[in-house]
Amino acid sequence: MAYRATQRTRANAEARRAGIERAARHVIARGGFASANVAAVAVEADCSAGSIYTYFSNRDELLRLVFAQAAGHELDVIAGTVAEASTASEIAESTVEVFVRRAVAGRRLAHALLLEEVPEPVQSERLRLRRGYVAVIGTALDRVGGTQIPAEVAARSIVGCVGENLVDILDPTTANPSPAEIETLVKALITFTRSALGEP
Amino acid sequence: MAYRATQRTRANAEARRAGIERAARHVIARGGFASANVAAVAVEADCSAGSIYTYFSNRDELLRLVFAQAAGHELDVIAGTVAEASTASEIAESTVEVFVRRAVAGRRLAHALLLEEVPEPVQSERLRLRRGYVAVIGTALDRVGGTQIPAEVAARSIVGCVGENLVDILDPTTANPSPAEIETLVKALITFTRSALGEP
DNA sequence: AGAACAATTGAACCACGATTCATTTCTTTG
DNA sequence: CAAAGAAATGAATCGTGGTTCAATTGTTCT
């Protein structure tokens, strides 16, 4: 016997794995999933293409993990703010505010997470996460009560409204939206979703 | 001189071209864009793969044309019904009704047109068409007046609401939705969009 | 009929990028 | 330090599916 994996070895391995994930996240945030080929991630992670396969079974799996982390974090943020809301209006308001502002702040990444064409395993994850948003908002709406329609439909509708209005704004081929434009949109969406939920 | 393209020749050529488009549409309606590879379309059109390149410059262009036809037709239908509406409520109502019912009736095709991952040229076309929907609904809302928020945001929101609520229903990997489910959804969406537009 | 040209065919070609794997380099332990 | 095993490397491989093209078949005209 002459070699055995040690504490440090494993810590290093974990650091490498995390480094590759971070690299992939950066590449995606810069150029979307389309640009996140194995070679590009390897360059960013400062390792070889082959090495990536020591830590991840394949490219799709790596992308799926990175997607799940990033999108999961966004979901947590929304869940946090929605949990504090005590009326349907507040739920609508905080959802729109957080969603739109965070998307605009991290435009390219938001586009990748929400809209870009992705490999199938990532798409499944995206649908899972979207169901997560619906669940979080739907549960909150149920808690505060007073909606005339099924909370799930209301929650989905809110997600749909906001998402659809971000399509052009997040388009990587167009210039950054002006702050004024964003203010108008946020205000309008809040008005729209509030009245939709039957609040004045 | 011994050969010149004649009336009949050209008519035949046009028929072939149309046949290939029809074949592509059928393949897409059956298995989505993913299944519409050149070989599959050729089989359905009863011609060789190579022949397709006599009539279309490449696969993406063929798919783009077929998409534009199918989605353009849907837009025309919506435009037709929305044109008859004379209140915001009626606009919301007819949009939801037509959109949802037609989507459910042609589930697989609707999924392909609205949600499936598609080659870039098709995606551009999809965005164009979506802007068409927004324009049609937005113009109608402007015509009847009385919305507190920009008509474009309202129109986009309606499209987003409806689209998002179709995601699960159109998923090809799940069973057909029950008629009752559809009724509930249509009713809820009409309520949601109506109140969103500030109508009781 | 046969010359002239267009259309069809389908197998070969090609582009692309993920994946593999023989080789080399690094770590640990006796 | 040497042996044993792990990890890293990156060029070669492979799979996939769109695209091409030489050969064949079909059509028109004199």
Looking up residue B171, the CATH number of its domain turns out to be 1.10.357.10
Q: Which domain holds residue B50?
A: 1-56
Residue A160 sits at the chain B interface (C-beta within 8 Å): yes
Tell me: do B37 and B117 sit in the same domain: no
Q: Which residues from the 27-46 window of protein chain B have CB within 7 angstroms of nucleic acid chain D?
A: 37-39
| Residue contact B189–A165, C-beta within 8 A | no
CA of B174 to C1' of C1 (A): 63
pLDDT of residue B1: 56
Same domain, A39 and A109: no
A38 and A71 part of one domain: no
Query: Do B142 and B181 reside in the same domain of the chain?
Result: yes
Q: Which residues of chain B are modeled with pLDDT < 70? A: 1-2
- The kind and range of the H/E element at A196 are helix A179-196
At residue B104, what are phi and psi to the nearest 5 degrees?
A: -65, -35
CB contact (8 A) between residue A184 and residue B150: yes
CATH assignment at residue B16 = 1.10.10
Cα–Cα distance measured from residue B127 to residue B121, given in angstroms and rounded to the nearest whole number = 10
In a shared domain, residues A130 and A33: no
Written as six digits, the tokens of A171 are: 């388009």
Last residue of a domain, one of A10, A34, A56: A56
Give the number of other Cβ atoms within 10 Å of residue B126's Cβ: 19
Q: Report how far residue B48's alpha carbon sits from residue B45's, in angstroms, rounded to the nearest whole number.
A: 8
Q: Give the end of a domain, one of A33, A56, A79.
A: A56
Say how far apart CA B153 and CA A121 lie, in whole Å: 32
- Residue A198 to chain B, least CA–CA distance (Å): 6
Which element (helix H / strand E) includes A169? Answer: helix A151-170
Please report the pLDDT score of residue A1 as a whole number. Answer: 56
Do residue A124 and residue A43 come from a single domain?
no
Quote the Cα angle for B50-B51-B52, to 5°: 90
The number of domains in chain B is 2
- Taking CA atoms, A127 is separated from A67, A73, A112, B71, in Å, by 12, 15, 14, 24
Per-residue confidence (pLDDT) for residue A98, from 0 to 100: 98
Interface contact B146, partner A, CB < 8 A = no
Q: Are A178 and A151 contained in the same domain?
A: yes
Establish if B153 touches chain A: CB-CB under 8 angstroms. Answer: yes
Same domain assignment for residues B18 and B114: no
From the CA of B134, how many Å to the nearest CA of chain A?
10
- In this structure, the answer to whether residues B73 and B166 fall within a common structural domain is yes
Q: pLDDT tens for residues A33-51?
A: 999 999 999 999 999 999 9
The spacing between the Cα labelled CA in B166 and the C1' in C27, in angstroms, equals 55
Distance from CA(A9) to C1'(C27), angstroms, rounded: 8
Contact by Cβ (8 Å): A89, A199 = yes
Residues B50 and B93 in one domain: no
Please classify residue A14 by burial: count the beta carbons closer than 10 Å to its beta carbon, then call 0-12 exposed, 13-18 middle and 19+ buried: exposed
With a pLDDT cut of 70, the percent of chain A lying above it is: 99
Q: Dig out the tokens for A75 from the structure.
A: 């979901």
* Same domain, yes or no: B112 and B14: no
Chain A within 8 Å of B43 (Cβ-Cβ)? Answer: no
What pLDDT does residue A8 have? 78
Contact A55, A20 (CB under 8 A): yes
The Cβ of residue A128 has, within 10 Å, a number of other Cβ atoms equal to 13
Residues of chain A under the 70 pLDDT cut: 1
Q: Are residues B147 and B89 in the same domain?
A: yes
Chain B residues in contact with A150 (beta carbon < 8 A): 184, 188
- Which residues 102-131 of chain B have a CB within 8 Å of chain A? 117-118, 123, 127, 130
How far is B43 from chain A, CA to nearest CA, in Å?
26
Output the CA torsion A63→A64→A67→A71 (10° steps): 180
Give the pLDDT of residue A200. 73
